[in-house]
Amino acid sequence: MSRPTNRAETTGFPGRLKAVRQALKQKGLDCLLVASPENVRYLLGFTGSSSWAFVSADDAVLATDSRYAEQARCQVQFGRVCVTERGLIDFAARHAAEKGVRTLGFEPNILSFSTCRAIEARIAEPCIDRRIVPAEGIVEALRAVKDDAELALIQAAATLADRVYVHACSLIRCGMTERQLALEIEKWLRENGSGPLPFSVIVTSGPNAALPHAEPTDREFAQGEPIVMDLGATTGGYCSDFTRTVFLGEPEGSLGDVYHTVLAAQQEAIRGIRAGMRAPDADELARSVIRRAGLDAAFGHGLGHGVGLAIHESPTVSGRSTDVLLEGMVFTVEPGVYLPQQGGVRIEDTVVLRDGVVQSLTCAQKRDPVIPLRRTD
Ligand code: ZN
Ligand code: ZN
């Protein structure tokens, strides 16, 4: 446990707390109970678990138990640390009473129904109309737009993804299994500086590639088949997300054409997305290319998702999203086409909106997906 040495992790906290306070004022809340570990980390820099933050106009508190007391005192520089003796629910009630909080906002997508009911029961006092009210997305909206320090961390995680992809391509050969390749990728990432991986590496081959998020199996790679690798790294808690599809030798059947359709769709989106664009319009840039090829029924998921402290966060880039893409947002552009029993293709890059346009943070080549067959095995 040490004081964070990376200045990048501490520079933004006062600005973030200020922005939360503005949102509280607008929504008529006296205090926000922050329970999401990523949101707690974003606001106060604390990286442990089992902790809640309480932000009000004149105060920011990290409430945690004795296991995390020392770590919290080292990491939290712009708020108070309170060590709870009777648990977080008890602390929430006492904090609300001490601070004269009347409306306590909570994250309805994070706190369980039973926890909310328990807090509600504890904060009730005769003669005082004290309420706990849902306040969704306050911190998530701030997190969606990254500052330079966050971008540097995501860029480092993106570069690790690019590099492990090159390493993975050097290993792929007939007879290697999905599970073996996934394990090699995970090992390389951890040995070369990634923090805990944001998700288990996905490697699918042949017909398995038709399943967007299948777990790697003992299936062996064979000539002409697609191999989809979906992987990410973390640096300082920030994630990257990256997918490439390759073929071991020249692609079989129609999947080579599908590859170029998916690539064209992704490039259309990367070229066309602008700051200020509605998310459904961004999704449509890629989807229209896939529709023109008659494959839109095989592109079942949205175009992308925000990436940051969490692997899936705001904004949602899909046809149903109400989000608007803003300067400084980091998200994925990941069209895919999945043909049952045949296979699938997905190409994914983590990108940022900078100077109004898309700039890719993952940059590994995708023009040529063919890995030459090796004669050595
Ligand atoms: Zn991915
Ligand atoms: Zn993704």
pLDDT digits (tens, 9 = 90+) for 249-259: 999 889 999 99
Work out the pLDDT band at 125, boundaries 50, 70, 90: confident
**Token pair for 175:** 């007879």
Q: Specify burial of residue 175 (Cβ count, 10 A radius: 0-12, 13-18, 19+).
A: exposed
Closest ligand to C-alpha of residue 229 is 1
Neighbours of ion ligand 2 (CB under 5 A): 241, 332
pLDDT at 5 over 70: no
- 53 vs 37: CA distance, rounded Å: 9
Closest ligand to C-alpha of residue 200 is 1
Closest ligand to C-alpha of residue 304 is 2
**Dihedral sign of CA atoms 15, 21, 24, 26 in order:** negative
Domains and CATH numbers, the chain: 7-143 (3.40.350.10), 148-371 (3.90.230.10)
Q: How many A from CA of 44 to the centre of ligand 1?
A: 28
- In 3D space, the residue among 4, 22, 12 whose CA is nearest the CA of residue 43 turns out to be 12
Q: How many A from CA of 347 to the centre of ligand 2?
A: 10
Count CB neighbours of 194 within 10 A.
Answer: 23
Mean pLDDT of the chain: 94
Q: How many A from CA of 185 to the centre of ligand 2?
A: 17
Digit-coded pLDDT (tens) for 254-311: 999 999 999 999 999 999 999 999 999 999 999 999 999 999 999 999 999 999 999 9
Closest ligand to C-alpha of residue 305 is 2
Q: Specify burial of residue 40 (Cβ count, 10 A radius: 0-12, 13-18, 19+).
A: buried
Q: How many A from CA of 57 to the centre of ligand 1?
A: 38
**Dihedral sign of CA atoms 126, 129, 130, 132 in order:** positive
pLDDT at 8 over 90: no
Q: How many A from CA of 141 to the centre of ligand 1?
A: 22
Q: How many A from CA of 273 to the centre of ligand 2?
A: 17
Q: How many A from CA of 8 to the centre of ligand 1?
A: 25
Count CB neighbours of 273 within 10 A.
Answer: 25
Work out the pLDDT band at 169, boundaries 50, 70, 90: very high
- 235 vs 37: CA distance, rounded Å: 17
Digit-coded pLDDT (tens) for 304-331: 999 999 999 999 999 999 999 999 999 9
Q: How many A from CA of 230 to the centre of ligand 1?
A: 5
Q: Which pLDDT score is estimated for 351? A: 98
Does 212 sit behind a cis peptide bond, omega within 30 degrees of 0 on the bond before it?
no
Q: How many A from CA of 202 to the centre of ligand 1?
A: 8
Closest ligand to C-alpha of residue 202 is 1
- 45 vs 1: CA distance, rounded Å: 13
pTM above 0.85, yes or no: yes
Closest ligand to C-alpha of residue 201 is 1
Q: How many A from CA of 328 to the centre of ligand 1?
A: 20
Q: Specify burial of residue 182 (Cβ count, 10 A radius: 0-12, 13-18, 19+).
A: buried
Q: How many A from CA of 334 to the centre of ligand 2?
A: 7
The proportion of the chain whose per-residue pLDDT surpasses 70, expressed as a percent, equals 96
